[in-house]
Structure 1
Amino acid sequence: MNQILIIEDEEVIRRAVKRLLERNGYQVTEAGSVEEAQSRPLTSFDLILSDVRLPGAPGTQIIETAAPVPVLIMTSYASIRSAVDAMKLGAIDYIAKPFDHDELLMVVERVIKQDRQQRQQESLKSELEKSYPVRGMVGDCPAMIDVFRRIDKVAPTDATVLILGESGTGKELAARALHEKSQRSQSPFIVFNCAAVPENQVEIELFGHQNEAENRRAGLLAKAHGGTLFMDEVGELSMAAQARLLRVLQGDDYDTQQETANNGPNIRIIAATHRDVRKLVQQQTFRSDLYFRLRVVEMTLPPLRERGSDIKSLAKFLLAKYCRQLNRPSLNLSRSALEAIRRYHWPGNVRELANTIERAVILCEGDHITPQLLAIDHHITTKRLNSDNPTDSLSLEEYFRHFVLDNQDHMTETELAKQLGISRKALWERRQRFGIPREKKGKKN
């Protein structure tokens, strides 16, 4: 039940408002002055209704004292100016006396709802910052320290950045860190996965579209105006899309309706890929001029298996994160579970580790995470590491092909995706792209 404090020196008005609010499900506390109100636990209220003119201190004094509780000012028609002044001091709104009962109830409901939504948004933002701590990325191995230093140096600039690394290593997290530490941090951060959109739709998504009815649909470049556009899996762009993106980076191809059309787009582009772009350039499937435009600064994220003791720190960080998200009491990783995590190869990197920890937290019925809950299949990576066949030095694309073809007969699509540290959708998309769709056998996976 929402709690409301009424500060009004005229007892008749105060009691009438109290009865009205109580009949409509609110719990109401009365006070005849600011001094009396200050003896109450102000932060326990959802809303404060206060008259402006009160004996002693004016009603506006409660605004700062009660923050962040919203204060709704009640005033007579003759003192509207004082109500406006109160809003400048931080009052959420005002209502003129004598007021209609329905009008008062509507304003009270709206103010409480808006305040609740704002607090939820702030809570969500705080939770996201905990989940994706761009200012406190986990890791202290030499490779990650080098990444952190480079982020600190590059973030304040508008230089384009090319982030390299295997799938699941945290390329988007690094891009967010670059954005959050830049002067564009209060502007949009737009994510575009080049591999998740059909080839014939990529240009429409990026640059927008105008149909026959002259209705214009803004592209992601326009939506990211003033901020950052993060292009994940940029190595999957078609040659046509690459050519147009290059023109944008050169300032030659931009929406003429944008204010910055004469000066080029006001946007920072950060690109990422798990593929060997130099090899793509040699194969003439990626433009060399675009490659050099994108890699003004290049940074490489290390795979999880090369991060040493970071694996243990990450596991504990992720465990705390998912306990918090899933409203579970604090759990611990058993010594044997930590050893299983350390020995595993983690082909899906941090994303696979996160999926593994989240699943274990959901299934855990005690206070310790065991190797059984982690359900790590060491056979998969051990077989690959100990083999004497040519797959030891496979590229990521070749490894994906071999892994899927070797295991699809005894693993479901969900199991394949989890072992690879990717979603089922990403698995399906890569199957189509690499020409290895799963054959239908008349049964569900």
Structure 2
Amino acid sequence: MRHFPRTARRRMVSAALAATMAVGVSTIPSAYADDLKDKQHKIQKDIKSAQSDLHASSRSMQRATAKLAAARDQLAGAQVALAAAEGKAADAAVRDAQMQVELDEATAALEQAQTDLALGRGLMNEQQEQVTATVTDFYQQGDPQLLAFASLLDSQTPADLTRQNELRDGIVDREARVYQELQAAKVLLKMREQQVEDAKEAVALKRQAAADHLVVMQSLEAEAAAAKASVVSLVGARATAQRAAVRAKRADEAALADLEQEEAKISDMLRRRALAALRAQRAKQRDQGPASPGNSGGFLDSPVGGTLSSPYGYRTHPIYGYWGLHDGQDWAAGCGQPLYAGADGRVVSSYSSTVYGRRLVIDHGAVSGVGLATIYNHATSYTVGVGARVTRGQVIGYVGDSGWSTGCHLHFTVMANGSTVDPRNWL
């Protein structure tokens, strides 16, 4: 697959889009258009800040960070579980105290019912003795009503008759009350006997509930103890993961320091080559006459058939948190996909970097008044070496994930006079 220059095509498309936008914008109020632009800029800024380069850190740092994040999440979950278990145990302890009070009250009610039963039995015994005495009197003296009737026959005057009736009624009423009191005592005794049985049943139920709750309490206490042990264990795991992350971070910082030295050497080399190329271009122009000013946009063809996943620009480092420059573009592509030369040039460097993996630097000479170079990173391999001439669209290597990489992709860098620039201005 060969890539050809797309400058003319892109200019035509850009012109058509510009014309369309001009017609559309002309119908929109200026204030509303400004508001839309502000919202667009904000959205673009949010998207840019949300994106991160794929070579954020070494694999060891990524693993350590993942373990640390997992340990933190697990610890947070374990702490929630511990709080819940302790809460359940505390609620169960409160309920246990309430059940003990209820059991004590039921026991006291049983004791009172038993006391009342004993009193009732004593009262019934007294009533029984009175009835027994009355029955005995009946046998010894005769029925009071019969005696009263006999006395009526012996009455001499109406006054005697009245007195005899009153005497009979008094005796009968007294004996009736004795019988009634005995019956009432028996009924009350049965009620108290039932109260005792009910109280015994209530005490038994409370004791069984307390025994069942004790099992629950023991289970909840065991659950809380296990949750606490889990928290203690995860605290240790988090500390271990944190120490591993610190060690990995220090190793990454050392690798980044080495990378800065590598980049300084490449930048210095490209600056010198750019200066030489510009001097040669000026000499050629003196001999051939001035050339028309160049245009950087669209000069380079796409370096790979993939999707732009992270643009050039400043952002917060996703792992280390510092504000720094992502000095190129990340293109998401499958491992083994071909890499293409963006323009004619010469390979001036090819080596392996701890951070960028397998790298290839191509010098394209003087373009639009600057010395232009492109750098390919993370490749699985390259098909050209130092000193080789390449042509636009030539396959120069294959996508990989060497170096610091979370997946197969191309980190593509454009250098102008030895300094990185946004590749979008050249593609």
Normalised by the length of structure 2, the TM-score is: 0.21
Question: Which one has a bigger Cα radius of gyration?
Answer: 2
Greater RCO, 1 or 2 (C-alpha within 8 Å, sep 6+): 2
